[in-house]
Amino acid sequence: MLAAIEAGGTKFVCAIGDIDYNVIDIIEIPTTTPTETMGEVKAFFNQYEIKSMAIGTFGPADINRNSSKYGCITTTPKQYWRNFNMLGYLQEFLSIPIVFNTDVNIAAVGEAKFGASQNVKNSIYVTIGTGIGVGAIVDGQMLQGLSHSEMGHVIVRRHPQDSYAGCCPFHKDCLEGMASGPAIEKRWNQKAVLLEENDDVWEIEGYYIAQALMTYILTLSPEKIILGGGVMKQRQLLPVILKYVQQFNNHYLSFSQLEDNIDEYIVTPGIEGYSAIKGAFYLAKRKLIEK
């Protein structure tokens, strides 16, 4: 059996799958403290005879195998989780191959292998929820340099009608600080799910997200962009994003993907809700084959 963990800022999704990537069992666990959350994770996986596992975690995290902090969550705003050795914890009770990466990277893999970006070699997966993260697939491989990318913290220009200071504890008004789920709630004093009919909310939100996408397009030139996460479940948001991407591009890049076919270029997940889980299964199986 294969095991998957999608460790998010709000919840952990843990799953068991077979060798053909079918989900056998799946559970959601609230993200509270490492002691509480990881205790429930351990109890779930101890029910099964697992052969290989892949973890995708919220970040920042150290995914450099040569680093002394490999497998650790690092400078997260979540104080309880800062410098927590997630990989080390799991290796204490699991003597199996384990892949450790970020939640958005493994979601990007899931969409590349099973979802909306199957037919291209270069794509990005953006999650917009409790935080904002971006996973990139370049020439069929996960992008990694010093560590994983942190494109959720790119700097954006302020909307002319927006006076909100931003909620990122490191940068204040970076993309995550201005457009994450908590930023929406703090700006409007209501959760995003209660603001569906307020067009101003989504105009401002789309403005920030589109700026970031334009930056990614100009730097990485992806063949497909996938937008996931809880905020993107507000379906009225995507058309606003597409409108602003075209406005910011201003016909500079003349590809059909950015003009007539933009709704096929910037899309929601093909396997929504399972992007990271399926990606983790794929990586776990590949690791098992390598071993």
Mean pLDDT to the nearest integer, 219-231: 96
Those residues whose C-beta lies under 8 Å from the C-beta of residue 252, and which sit 6 or more positions away, are none
Q: What tokens appear for 240 in the block?
A: 């606003």
The pLDDT of residue 77: 80
pLDDT over 80 at 147, yes or no: no
Catalogue all structural domains in the chain, each as residue range(s) with its CATH number. 2-105+272-290 (3.30.420.40), 116-267 (3.30.420.40)
pLDDT over 80 at 227, yes or no: yes
Residue 116's SS3 state is: coil
**In 159-261, which ranges are E strands?**
224-228
| 18-35 tens-digit pLDDT | 999 999 999 999 999 999
pLDDT over 90 at 16, yes or no: yes
Phi-psi region of 34 (alpha: psi -120 to 50; beta: other; left: phi over 0): alpha
Share of the chain above pLDDT 90, in %: 90
DSSP 125: E
pLDDT over 90 at 39, yes or no: yes
The pLDDT of residue 101: 95
pLDDT over 80 at 266, yes or no: yes
pLDDT over 80 at 97, yes or no: yes
The pLDDT of residue 9: 85
Cis status, amide bond into 60, omega within 30 of 0: yes
Mean pLDDT to the nearest integer, 259-274: 96
The pLDDT of residue 59: 85
The DSSP string of 26-60 is: EEEEE---HHHHHHHHHHHHTTS--SEEEEEE-SS
Burial of 225 (0-12, 13-18, 19+ CB in 10 A): buried
Give the distance from CA 103 to its chain's centroid.
Answer: 5
Mean pLDDT to the nearest integer, 142-154: 86
Sheet of strand 23-30, all strands in order from the earlier edge strand to the far edge: 23-30, 11-17, 2-7, 52-57, 98-102
The pLDDT of residue 157: 96
pLDDT over 80 at 145, yes or no: no
Q: What tokens appear for 136 in the block?
A: 């990139």
Mean pLDDT to the nearest integer, 73-79: 86
Mean pLDDT to the nearest integer, 189-215: 96
Q: What is the pTM of this model?
A: 0.93
DSSP 98: E
Sheet of strand 141-142, all strands in order from the earlier edge strand to the far edge: 141-142, 132-138, 123-128, 224-228, 266-267
The one-letter amino acid at 252: Y
